[in-house]
């Protein structure tokens, strides 16, 4: 085992890439010239030297609050190569959450990007002791510091990092309220990235376009460590990935690999693809004929491939459940999508398959050398909580032994809190979160996520949330009001109250549609309009706890 252990650290994996692909492209902003792996290595060494001069030693926590950029990767590796612990913070966190994370983790230093600096204004002086600008590694605080980033400088000492050493504390996006600091070791993350590479091998010809925050474990392991294993190049956007920013970037980078969340492709489908296929009456009739629908989806799929730059071979979707209608389209369109399942606590990947082996509505089988089981399955349905065991399971929650004991068993099983079932071929199907599951009047299990996926297929619905109130199911629905207004106002230049009347008719129609498409236990009692979008986490999941 000795030999195997030494390999499962970031510095060991990076050294291997340096030996094999020294001049291959490593990191770049879209529109700029990439730096090579050799250049990245030099920068990492110089930033480690800077951290040394700031008094950082192995085991110290160093926070990173920054948008995605090549220097994010450099900072993260500089911290972890010296045996210190990176604390990546989600850019979307509120100032209060950010200060809590810095204080709770006891971070001694912070790398911050200029656009997020204002979120740290409430920090106590000297906490953390040193704050660096991530753009140029200059010292922002303390004022008048003599510390200086010197390109080409080298660390004074050699660091011996072990697989069991802590690499990162990732504070979860908190869909269930309070954020928890997940402790992940070099081995946890390295093992997971290597298993990910078995599903989708990458090499120096691969180009990743990064659209999810690097501070999220999904992007961190599969969008930072995995491309490093193959010497692939990662491209970053200077602005958030809105269509005007993303479309030209796709054209320029022509990515081969992208990691996304369902909402991104669902928006493309409902806003662009579906209207083009069913916008006209005749097209709508034709699209309802399965044979013709498949043919039209194939044509739309070819166009979609072109939109994404034409070179895509792996379009990963994770973070939450993909809408079934959208998945059916991707399947029929022969778009190279792949579904993955995992959690921050498992670094993250637990199950998944590559685009050639995708199974409809499933996350695919467990990853190599990771055990998954359904604990205490329902004798009738086989459903139960998914438990996981393997080298990717976290050490625990930072400074929270009681919370750790609740989710980790003595023999190493991690309780995911997700409900699932396996088919006869060991493919995993996710049913929803255990915490979200509603127990009906006669003891039946109701999964709000399944009802929501039906609601979200109804025209003009952007997103929804199903909760139980006074024993009845209520659906909060956020609609595309612009589209609705266009539809109804174009019929007749009518008065405001006519529009209100139409909305009420629409709600009744929606309720009827849902209740004919779900089982009798899952029927909704009431539809309530949600005027503004729901608040979401980094992977664009609705923060349910805010609405219950």
Which residues neighbour 477 within 8 Å (Cβ) at sequence distance 6 or greater? 455, 461, 463, 464, 507, 510, 527, 528, 529, 530
pLDDT at 489: 63
DSSP H/E element including 222: none
Mean pLDDT of the region 8-19:
97
Question: What distances in angstroms separate CA 129 from CA 54, 70, 278, 342, 432, one per listed residue?
Answer: 9, 24, 59, 35, 43
Neighbours of 12 (CB within 10 A): 16
pLDDT at 4: 46
Q: Return the HEC string of 379-415.
A: CCCCCEEEEEECCCCCCEECCCHHHHHHHECCCCCEE
Distance CA 430, CA 413 (A): 18
Q: Which residues of 349-366 are buried (b: 16+ CB within 10 A; e: fewer)?
A: bbbbbbbeebbeebbbbb
pLDDT at 425: 96
Q: Check whether 35 has a pLDDT greater than 70.
A: yes
> Minimum mean pLDDT among 46-55, 173-182, 308-317, 371-380: which range?
173-182
Mean pLDDT of the region 520-527:
92
Q: Do 465 and 534 meet the contact criterion of CB atoms below 8 Å apart?
A: yes
Distance CA 256, CA 312 (A): 4
Residue 415: pLDDT band (50, 70, 90) is: very high
Distance CA 487, CA 360 (A): 33
Distance CA 361, CA 526 (A): 28
Distance CA 371, CA 396 (A): 18
Q: Check whether 79 has a pLDDT greater than 70.
A: yes
Quick check: helix, strand or coil at residue 143? coil
Percentage of residues of the chain with pLDDT beyond 70: 96
Residue 228 is encoded by which pair of tokens?
């490093």
Q: Check whether 441 has a pLDDT greater than 80.
A: no
Q: What is the DSSP letter of 16?
A: H
Question: What distances in angstroms separate CA 87 from CA 161, 213, 479, one per listed residue?
Answer: 17, 13, 37
Residues 336-357 have pLDDT tens digits of 999 999 999 999 999 999 999 9
pLDDT at 174: 41
Where do the domains of the chain lie?
2-235, 236-390+408-433, 438-546
Mean pLDDT of the region 436-449:
83
Average pLDDT over all residues of the chain? 92
Name the CATH code of domain 438-546 (choices 3.40.50.1820, 2.40.50.140, 1.25.40.10, 3.30.300.30): 3.30.300.30
Residue 302 is encoded by which pair of tokens?
């070819």
Angle at 458 between CA 456 and CA 463, to 5 degrees: 30
Residue 249 is encoded by which pair of tokens?
């970037």
Q: What is the DSSP letter of 190?
A: H
In 438-495, which residue ranges form alpha helices assigned H by DSSP?
448-455, 481-491
Q: What is the DSSP letter of 288?
A: T
Supply the CATH classification number for the domain 236-390+408-433: 3.40.50.12780
Q: Check whether 1 has a pLDDT greater than 50.
A: no
Supply the CATH classification number for the domain 2-235: 3.40.50.980
Determine the angle formed by the axes of helices 186-199 and 10-20, rounding to 10 degrees.
50
Distance CA 270, CA 263 (A): 10
Q: Check whether 72 has a pLDDT greater than 90.
A: yes
Residues 82-115 have pLDDT tens digits of 999 999 999 988 898 899 999 999 999 999 999 9
pLDDT at 212: 94
Residue 493: pLDDT band (50, 70, 90) is: low
Distance CA 222, CA 232 (A): 12
Q: Check whether 281 has a pLDDT greater than 50.
A: yes
**Do the first three CATH levels of 2-235 and 236-390+408-433 match, i.e. the same topology?**
yes
Q: Check whether 178 has a pLDDT greater than 80.
A: no
Residue 341 is encoded by which pair of tokens?
């399942």
- Best CA proximity match to 31, nearest among 312, 244, 251: 251
- Note the Cα 300 to chain centre separation in Å: 26
E-strand ranges in 398-531 read 414-422, 428-433, 438-439, 445-446, 461-469, 472-479, 526-529
Distance CA 545, CA 435 (A): 10
> Minimum mean pLDDT among 47-56, 408-417, 480-489: which range?
480-489
Q: Check whether 307 has a pLDDT greater than 80.
A: yes
Distance CA 346, CA 318 (A): 14
Residue 490: pLDDT band (50, 70, 90) is: low
DSSP H/E element including 357: none
């Amino acid at each position: 085992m000795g030999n195997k252990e030494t390999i499962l650290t970031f510095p060991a994996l990076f050294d291997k890439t340096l030996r094999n692909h020294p001049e291959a492209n490593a990191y770049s902003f879209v529109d700029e010239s990439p730096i090579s792996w050799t250049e990245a290595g030099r920068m990492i060494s110089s930033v480690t030297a800077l951290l040394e001069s700031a008094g950082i030693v192995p085991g110290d926590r160093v926070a990173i609050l920054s948008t995605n950029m090549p220097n994010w990767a450099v900072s993260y590796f500089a911290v972890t190569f010296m045996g210190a612990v990176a604390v990546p913070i989600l850019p979307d966190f509120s100032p209060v959450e950010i200060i809590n994370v810095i204080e709770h983790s006891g971070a001694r230093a912070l790398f911050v990007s200029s656009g997020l600096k204002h979120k740290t204004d409430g920090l106590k002086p000297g906490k953390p002791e040193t704050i660096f600008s991530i753009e140029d590694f200059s010292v922002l605080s303390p004022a008048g510091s003599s510390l200086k980033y010197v390109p080409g400088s080298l660390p004074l000492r050699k660091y011996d990092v072990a697989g069991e050493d802590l690499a990162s504390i990732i504070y979860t996006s908190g869909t269930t309220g309070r954020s928890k600091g997940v402790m992940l070791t070099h081995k946890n993350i390295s093992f997971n990235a290597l298993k990910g590479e078995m599903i989708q091998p990458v090499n120096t010809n691969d180009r990743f376009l990064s659209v999810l925050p690097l501070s999220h474990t999904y992007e961190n392991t599969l969008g930072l460590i995995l491309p490093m294993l193959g010497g692939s190049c990662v491209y970053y956007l200077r602005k958030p990935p809105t269509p005007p920013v993303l479309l030209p970037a796709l054209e320029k980078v022509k990515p081969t690999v992208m990691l996304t969340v369902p909402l991104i492709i669902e928006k493309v489908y409902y806003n662009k693809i579906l209207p083009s296929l069913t916008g006209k009456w005749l097209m709508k009739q034709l699209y309802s004929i399965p044979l013709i629908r498949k043919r039209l989806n194939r044509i739309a799929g070819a166009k979609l491939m072109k939109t994404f730059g034409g070179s895509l071979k792996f379009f990963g979707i994770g973070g939450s459940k993909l809408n079934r209608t959208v998945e059916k389209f991707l399947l029929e369109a022969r778009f190279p999508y792949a579904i993955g399942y995992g959690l921050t606590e498992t670094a993250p990947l637990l199950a998944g398959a590559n685009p050639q082996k995708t199974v409809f509505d499933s996350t695919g089988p467990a990853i190599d050398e990771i055990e998954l089981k359904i604990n205490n399955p329902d004798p009738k349905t086989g459903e139960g909580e998914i438990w996981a065991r393997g080298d990717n399971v976290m050490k625990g929650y930072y400074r929270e032994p009681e919370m750790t004991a609740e989710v980790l068993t003595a023999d190493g099983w991690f309780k995911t809190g997700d409900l699932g079932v396996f088919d006869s071929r060991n493919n995993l199907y996710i049913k929803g979160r255990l915490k979200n599951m509603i127990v009906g009047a006669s003891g039946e299990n109701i999964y709000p996520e399944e009802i929501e996926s039906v609601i979200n297929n109804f025209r003009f619905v952007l997103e929804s949330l199903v909760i139980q109130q006074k024993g009845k199911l209520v659906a909060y629905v956020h609609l595309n009001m612009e589209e609705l207004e266009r539809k109804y106002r174009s019929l007749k230049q009518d008065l405001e109250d006519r529009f209100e009347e139409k909305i009420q008719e629409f709600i009744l129609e929606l309720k009827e549609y849902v209740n004919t498409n779900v089982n009798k236990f899952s029927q909704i009692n009431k539809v309530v309009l949600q005027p503004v979008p729901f608040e979401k986490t980094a992977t664009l999941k609705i923060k349910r706890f805010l609405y219950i």
